[in-house]
Amino acid sequence: MSDQVSAVADRSTIRLALVVGGLVLAVLLGFGLGRLNGGGTGGTATAGVSSSTGGHTHPPGTGVHDHGAVTSTDGQAGAEAGGLSVSSSGYTFAPLATEFPAGQPGQLRFQVRDAQSRPVTRFAVVHDKPMHLIVVRRDLTGYQHLHPTMAPDGTWSVPLTLAQPGVWRAYADFTAVADDGGQAAVTVGVDLVAPGGYQPRPLPKPATSTTVDGFTVSYQGSPQAGATVPLTFRVDGAGGVAALERYLGAYGHLVALREGDLGYLHVHPELELVDGQVKFWLTVPDPGRYRLYLDFQVGANVHTAEFTLTIP
């Protein structure tokens, strides 16, 4: 009898040991994956580690641009594109619904969940907002840059209309604050669907100048694969160079999306205007075609200029 009890106890002990061992392994693996996601791109955007450079590289000899007091919103570093995964650095983009009738006003609701599947409720304010949401159709049309609001339970919501049928990509770009106060800059992406006949539009030809809402927007600079190069944007209105205003703490916000996989590059400008122009540092990882989206503000209105960029 005592042998049986002892045997049972031994089995329980073994089971317990296995469970504990498994948990430790899971935690180590999770941490390792987090490190790979954040650190594999050369960044330090792992929970508990805060990087003053925002987890991406700046070219030698150039000043850092504005990331405020926290890590950048990029979620990736150096030459790697982000937003390709629904989970990164232990954080998961969890939409409550992903289907939207085309052309009808709807509401996107989602949570950011941590490695324990708990909704995250603490976010650092980066560029004036705790959450930046980018939505674009798979053919790179219909770009939207939105700022959802969060309920106390960690559920974010924002009005959203997917104008045309197709598969759309949504990127959540945020800096989560962990229980220990550590901050992780993350970009995660998920597909949304507007059912119906998808008629993809070809990417417009590469150009360094475009018009939007009566403004002519042009840029100078020669992006190259694997290099960080300056891009300087100039906005002209009816009366010459337009007076750019700060929007979300900067004179402009530039997002670059890669054709093919919609890899996400988020770049930020120098703090101050240079001759009335807004200057960015852009690191493009690989040859290919990209669509650039520049948000800028003039006369209290925000406009978005779009460019196709080919990297040879």
Between 132 and 258, name the residue whose CB sits nearer to Cu ion. Answer: 132
> Which H, E and C letters describe the chain, residue by residue?
CHHHHHHHHHHHHHHHHHHHHHHHHHHHHHHHHHHHHHHCCCCCCCCCCCCCCCCCCCCCCCCCCCCCCCCCCCCCCCCCCECCCCEECCEEEEECCCECCCCCCEEEEEEEECCCCCECCCECCECCECCEEEEEECCCCCCEEECCEECCCCEEEEEECCCCCEEEEEEEEEEEECCCCCEEEEEEEEEEEECCCCCCCCCCCCCCEEEECCEEEEEECCCCECCEEEEEEEEEECCEECCCECECCECCEEEEEECCCCCEEEECECCCCECCEEEEEEEECCCEEEEEEEEEEECCEEEEEEEEEEEC
Q: Provide the minimum distance between the beta carbon of 249 and Cu ion in the complex, in angstroms, as a whole number.
A: 10
Quick one: 34 or 233, whose CB is closer to Cu ion?
233
Shortest Cβ distance from residue 132 to Cu ion (Å)? 3
Closer CB to Cu ion, residue 132 or residue 137? Answer: 132
Nearer to Cu ion, 132 or 291 (CB): 132
CB of 152 to Cu ion, least distance (A): 22
Token output for 269: 């400008």
Nearest residue relative to Cu ion (C-beta): 132
Query: Least separation, in Å, of the C-beta of 193 and Cu ion?
Result: 23
Least separation, in Å, of the C-beta of 205 and Cu ion? 28
Residue 126 beta carbon to Cu ion: minimum distance, rounded to whole angstroms: 9
Residue closer to Cu ion (CB basis): 266 or 291: 266
Residue ranges in contact with Cu ion by CB under 5 A: 132
Question: Of 73 and 277, which has the nearer Cβ to Cu ion?
Answer: 73
Instruction: Report the nearest approach of Cu ion to the CB of residue 184 (Å).
Output: 18
**Among residues 115 and 120, whose Cβ is nearest to Cu ion?**
120
